[in-house]
């Protein structure tokens, strides 16, 4: 007679140990190191090649370097790490903890790209403090520092955290070869298409995307434009992970719950789902409470007096 025993769940200490192992694997990966250095290089290049009287421009657009290089690279690497961890567990038949425990450890490792993006953001702020800001950076004199911080954090560290978490999801759910590369391409294409409304009178319709710009860059006529949207609620929207891929999975789970609605557990979850209305409401408020604006800098102001949020 044979018997099987469920693998016990790992303790908090062992999950922490697994998370540190996965975090070190990611942080020491040559591709992750290279991606972080490339993102940092944009700050270094300005310092090296810029004239002494020049200003760093388009500050609110700089986080795209972290989101692109660190976030997308982390998506691919954590997807591969997730698959390799599962393969090792199947081979050894004695992996520490359950699949859920290993998944939690990998999710905690996604804090590594968020930390790397924070370092890049810190470098950007150091450059801004040292060189001042360009005349087009008028929001440093008109927006609160909290609004500027919210934009920089949402489009940099939070985006990179989301990239790592999406990589874990891809590694767990998608089994075909090259799945992470396909997801990266689709993510970039869909996100670029989602930015199309910025040039229309309905720029708020871009805000369902997982990364959405709030800044036009310097226009040809010397002005800059802030696009519509409440950055506070957009930041909450990203942090609660309600963009389209997660909402699609949520819809599928809702159908399964409804089919089992007479069971106590399913009935309780259906009740708790009312709380998911909060991030959906955030999207609605996000779409309705801010408007785009543009501004031509005044030639009479000394723009070195404008303060970056540091």
The pLDDT-based confidence of 301 (bands split at 50, 70, 90) is very low
Q: Is residue 167 included in any domain, yes or no?
A: yes
The pLDDT-based confidence of 297 (bands split at 50, 70, 90) is very low
Q: Is residue 278 included in any domain, yes or no?
A: no
Q: Is residue 256 included in any domain, yes or no?
A: no
Comparing CA positions, the residue from 77, 75, 71, 61 lying closest to residue 38 is 71
Number of domains in the chain: 1
The residue segments making up the domain with residue 85 are 12-229+290-305
Backbone CA torsion sign across 178, 180, 182, 185? negative
pTM, 2 dp? 0.72
Q: What is the DSSP letter of 133?
A: -
- DSSP states of 149-162 as a string? HHHHHIIIIIHHHH
Q: Is residue 74 included in any domain, yes or no?
A: yes
Note the pLDDT tens digit of each residue in 125-148. Answer: 888 887 777 766 666 666 778 888
Q: How far apart are CA 26 and CA 77, in angstroms?
A: 7
Q: Is residue 110 included in any domain, yes or no?
A: yes
């Amino acid at each position: 007679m044979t018997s099987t025993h469920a693998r016990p769940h790992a303790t908090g200490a062992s999950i922490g140990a697994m998370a540190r192992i996965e975090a070190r694997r990611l942080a020491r990966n040559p591709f992750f190191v290279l991606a972080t250095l490339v993102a940092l290089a944009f700050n270094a290049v300005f310092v090296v090649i810029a004239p002494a009287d020049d200003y760093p421009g388009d500050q609110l657009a700089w986080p795209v370097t972290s989101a692109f290089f660190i976030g997308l690279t982390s998506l691919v690497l954590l997807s591969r790490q997730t698959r390799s961890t599962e393969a090792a567990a199947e081979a050894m038949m004695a992996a520490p903890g359950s699949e859920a425990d290993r998944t939690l450890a990998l999710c905690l490792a996604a804090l590594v790209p968020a930390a790397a993006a924070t370092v890049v953001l810190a470098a950007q702020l150091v450059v801004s403090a040292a060189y001042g800001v360009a005349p087009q950076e008028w929001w440093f004199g008109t927006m609160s520092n909290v609004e500027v911080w919210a934009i920089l954090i949402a489009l940099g560290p939070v985006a990179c955290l989301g990239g790592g978490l999406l990589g874990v999801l891809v590694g767990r759910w998608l089994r075909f070869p090259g799945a992470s590369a396909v997801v990266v391409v689709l993510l970039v294409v869909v996100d670029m298409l989602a930015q199309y409304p910025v040039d229309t009178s309905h720029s708020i319709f871009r805000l369902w995307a997982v990364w959405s710009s709030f800044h036009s860059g310097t226009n040809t006529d010397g002005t800059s434009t802030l696009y519509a949207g409440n950055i506070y609620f957009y930041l909450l929207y990203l942090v609660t992970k309600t963009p389209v891929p997660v909402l699609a999975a949520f819809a599928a789970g809702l159908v399964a719950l409804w089919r089992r609605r007479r069971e106590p557990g399913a009935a309780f979850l259906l009740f708790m789902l009312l709380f998911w209305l909060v991030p959906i409401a955030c999207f609605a408020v996000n779409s309705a409470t801010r408007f785009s604006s543009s501004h031509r800098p005044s030639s009479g102001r000394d723009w070195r007096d404008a303060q970056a949020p540091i």
